[in-house]
Amino acid sequence: MLQASFRRIFTNQRLISLRKASSLSAARGRRAPIDVHPEVEDALATGKPVVALESTIITHGMPYPTSLEMAQSVERIVRSTGSIPATIAVIGGRIKIGLHPAELERLADQHSNPTAVKLSRRDIAAAIALKKDGGTTCCSTLIFAALAGIKVFATGGLGGVHRGGENTMDVSADLHELTRCPVGLVSAGVKSILDIRRTLEYLETLGVPVVSYAETHDFPAFYSGRSGFESPWRINDPRTAAQILHTHWQLGMSNGALFAVPIPAEYEAVGSALQEAVEQAVRESEEQNISNLGKAVTPWLLNRVGELTQGKSLASNIALVENTALVGGQIAVEYAKIAGDRHDQDQCYPVTGIRGKPDEPHSASDVASSGTTDDLKGQPLPNASLVVVGCAAVDITSQPLTDSDLGHQSTFPGKVSMSLGGVGRNIAEAAHRVLSSHSDESSAATLLVSLVGDDSFGRLLNEETRMLGMRTDGLIPVRGGRSSVCSLLLERSGGLRAGVADMDLVRNMDGHVAREFILAHKPKLLAVDGNLSPDTLKVVVSECLRNGVDVFFEPTSVIKSASILPAIAGNLDQLAWSPITFASPNLLELAHLYQQAQLLNLTSHDRWWQVLDSLGLGSKFRTDLDLLSRKEASSHDTSRGNLAFLVEKGVAQMAINLLPFFRHLVIKCGDLGVVVVMRFTGDDAADSPWSTESTNHHRRYVVSHSPTSGDTVVLQHFPAMQLPNNALVNTTGAGDSLVGALLAALVQSPKAFHSTISLQRTIDIAQHAALLSLQSPLAVSPLLSSLHGELSHQ
C-alpha cells in the first residue's frame, strides 16, 4: 500500500512539473527547429520569471535604428524587474526563444535584411520551410511562449476586429490564439486603428478574460488610457494578475488572459491628437483600398499615423511598450513566487533534438546496437564521439524549517526536492550542453552508459534525460533492480546532517556492458567515474587500450579514487605509455591515489622506475617549481595566499610520481584554481609546441625537457575565476561541470592540451562551466550551452 501511494504521489508530482515540458519535448522529438537561448533555458528550468516579447514590432513596427533601441530598452526594463526577457522570432528558418544581440540587430536592420516577414499562425510552417527570417506577431508569439511554458507576454497592442469587420470578416488571429494559449498577454489594449467595441464583444464570445490593469474599469485605446469602453474586471497590482494566471493553471484551463495597461499619464495629453491621425489614416486606407491588403494593413496604418503626427506617435508607441514590459516583468516575478511557494511551477527543460527508443531493450548488446537508430525517422544516429560510463542517480534532498526539529525521532515540516544526479550523468550532461549546437550530430555526440532500475526513479531518469536532448540508448533498465538514489538530510543552514546512498546497481555493473558500447561506437574519448567497481574498470580500460580509445578518469570521492589502480596495474607491463590518458582528482583524491599506489607497490614497479628516470627531472626543475610556488594563488584575492601548497604539501611531487599511470592530471584545487601536470613522450613530445617552450613564471608554468628520452613535463597553475559576490547557490555539480566541459573540449580538439594557447582556452572554458553551475540550483547549469561558441573557437 505504501509503495503504491508513493508511486501515485510521485507520478502526480512529475505530471505537474513536466506538463509544459512535454509539449516542447514532443516538438523537439519530432526534430522541430527550435532554439532556446541558454539564459532563458536556465530560467525555465529553475523556475525563474520569464517574459516573452514579440518581434513584429522590431521588423515591421518601427524604423531602424529606433526599432533596435526599443527592443534593447524593453529587454533592459524586463531585467530590471528580476525577470528574464525572451524575445521570440524566426531566423534562418529556426524558431528562436530568446535572442542574442546580433540576432536582434539582424531583425531590426530592415535595409540589410529587407526580406524578413510578418509571421502569424498560418505563416509559421512556410517561413520555416523556406528558411526565412520573420517577426512574430502576438498570435505566433503566444504559440511559442505557451510551447516553452512562459506564462507572461508583454507587447504594445493586441490585434482585433478591424473596422468594418462585420462585413469583411477581418479579425486578427491574435484573439483566437488567446483561447488556446495559457499565457497572460500584457498590452495597452488593442490597437486604436481597430474596432474596439466589437473586439471586446468577440473576446467575450471567445471566453477570454479582459482585465484593466488600472485605477478604473476603463479599457485603454493604445494611445489613450480611455477608449469609452470598460473591462469587466479591474486590478492594479501584479500579485493579483499572477493569481489569475495561476488559477487558470490550477483548473487546467487552456485559455490566456488580456491585461490592459493604459499608456503612461504623461503621454495621455497627446492621445486625442494622435487619435485624430488614426481616424484620418483609416479613412485613407479605405479610399485607397489599402484595407483590402490583409496583414499589410496594420503596418501601413501605423506608418501613416507616424507620418501624420510627425513622429509623435512613435514616441508614444515606445512609451507604452516599455510600460507593458515593466508591468509584464512584475507579473512574471509574482507568478514565479506563487508557483515556487506551491512547488508546482510549470518547469520546462528545452531539448536539442535526440531521442532514444521508447521501449528500451534489456541487454547491453541489444542497447548498443538498437540505440543507434532514430525511432522517429528510421535514420541511423551517428556514433558517439564521447562515451561516459558511470552513475546516473536521483538526488532527494530534505531540509527542515528549523534545526531543532532534527532532534525528534518523527517527521517534521520542511522542504523536499528531487533532481537528477550521479557523477557520470552530471559529466555527460555538462559535456552534452557544451558540445551541442543545432545539428543532430553534435546533439548525439555524447552517450551516457549506466544501469537504471525498472522503477519510478528509472523512468524519471529516462524521461528527464530525453528532455535534456540527450541520447537514452545507453540507459539500460535492469529488471528487479533499484535505481541509484542519494537521499540527503540537510540542516536549515544547508549543511549536510546525514545521508543514504544506494549505488549498488552501478557498482555491480558488468564491465562487458560498457565493452559493447566501446565496440559499437569506437569513441574518441571514454570517461569513467569512480562509482564503477575495480573489476568493471579493468574490463573498460583494457578494451579502450585495445581499441585506441583514450580514457578519462573522474575519481568521484577520496575512497573511490583508488578504484582505478587495479586497472592500471593490469596494463602497466603491456604499454610504453601511461594507461590512463586523463584524470581529474581534487587535492584530497590526489593524495589518496598516491598513497594507495604506494600500498599496492605500483611505485616499486619496474615500469614506474623507467618512466621516472626518463623524465630526467633535476635541480633546475625543482628551482623553477620553488619560484612558481611563491606566486600569489589569485590575482584578485590576496587572502588566498600563494602557491606554496605545490611544494609544502607535496602536490607537485605526488602528481609527477603518478605520471607513469596518468598522462595528464587536471587537479581541482577549489578556490586555489586548477593545476595541470602533463607528460609528453615519443611522437606526442615531438609534435607538441611544448617541446620548444621554457619555464615562464609570469604565465605560471614550469617546463622540463629530458635530454636523453626527449620527454617533456609541464606543470601549470590556472587561478580560479572570480565568483560574483553573493552568487553562490550550489556546489554539488561544479566539479562535474568542469570535467564535462573538459571532455567537450577534448572531443572537439583531441590535442587541446598540446600548446600553451589551446590549454589556456580549454581550462578557461572548464572553469567558466564550473562557475555557471556554482550559480545555479541545478547540478549542471543550463547556461553551459552558451559555452558552445567559446568551444568552436578552440
Per the DSSP assignment, residues forming a β-bridge with 64 are none
The C-alpha atoms of residue 367 and residue 363 are separated, in whole angstroms, by: 6
Q: Are 494 and 472 in contact (CB under 8 A)?
A: no
The C-alpha atoms of residue 360 and residue 356 are separated, in whole angstroms, by: 8
Measured CA angle at 6 (ends 4, 8), to 5 deg: 70
Class of residue 215 by CB neighbours under 10 A (exposed 0-12, middle 13-18, buried 19+): exposed
Per the DSSP assignment, residues forming a β-bridge with 194 are 162
- 151, 191, 295, 538: the catalytic one is 191
- What is the C-alpha end-to-end distance of the chain, expressed in Å? 56
DSSP string, 201-255: HHHHHHT--EEEESSSSBPPBTTBS--S-B-SEEE-SHHHHHHHHHHHHHTT---
Q: Is 357 a catalytic residue?
A: no
The C-alpha atoms of residue 446 and residue 460 are separated, in whole angstroms, by: 20
What length does the chain have?
Answer: 794
The C-alpha atoms of residue 286 and residue 289 are separated, in whole angstroms, by: 5
Contacts of 687 (CB under 8 A, 6+ apart): 751, 754
The answer to whether the bond into 85 is cis (omega within 30° of 0) is no
Q: Are 703 and 743 in contact (CB under 8 A)?
A: no
**Cα 37 to the chain's mean position, in Å?**
8
For the record, the C-alpha cell of 359 comes out as: 521501449
Per the DSSP assignment, residues forming a β-bridge with 661 are none
- 41, 54, 177, 589: the catalytic one is 54
Q: Is 377 a catalytic residue?
A: no
Per the DSSP assignment, residues forming a β-bridge with 485 are 394, 502
Per the DSSP assignment, residues forming a β-bridge with 380 are 373
Per the DSSP assignment, residues forming a β-bridge with 569 are none
The C-alpha atoms of residue 230 and residue 214 are separated, in whole angstroms, by: 11
Interhelix angle 271-287/312-341, rounded to 10 degrees, is 110
For the record, the C-alpha cell of 227 comes out as: 477608449
Give the closest residue to 429 by CA, choosing from 668, 733, 667. 733
Catalytic residues: 54, 191
